[in-house]
Amino acid sequence: MIGTVKDTLSVLLPLAHDGPALVDVVSARQELIMPPKTTVDEAWHFGLFMMKAVMDGRGAELIDLAKVNLTRYRVVSGA
């Protein structure tokens, strides 16, 4: 999603400051952090998390996780 010039400046100006800065950012609660390279071990542990979540009755949490991140993927990739 493309923000306004004001939004862009409100992030860039504090980051350009030569010292500590505080930036208030709103993000999706279920947004996954994607590293540049995913390892087999990371995929294994994510699958383990999903299996435990389903067995614990938190299937709705996984559906929410998928909705947030698949929508993000479509917007970023242009698919």
pLDDT of residue 52: 94
Query: 59: domain range?
Result: 5-77
Count: domains in the chain:
1
Phi/psi region, residue 38 (left: phi>0; alpha: psi -120 to 50; beta: rest), is: beta
pLDDT of residue 27: 74
Q: Tell me the whole-structure pTM to 2 decimals.
A: 0.51
For the segment 18-76, what is each residue's pLDDT rounded down to a tens digit?
888 887 777 777 777 777 888 999 989 989 999 999 999 998 988 888 888 777 665 55
Nearest to 3 by CA among 34, 20, 26: 26
pLDDT of residue 41: 94
- Asked if 32 contacts 66 with a C-beta cutoff of 8 angstroms, the reply is no
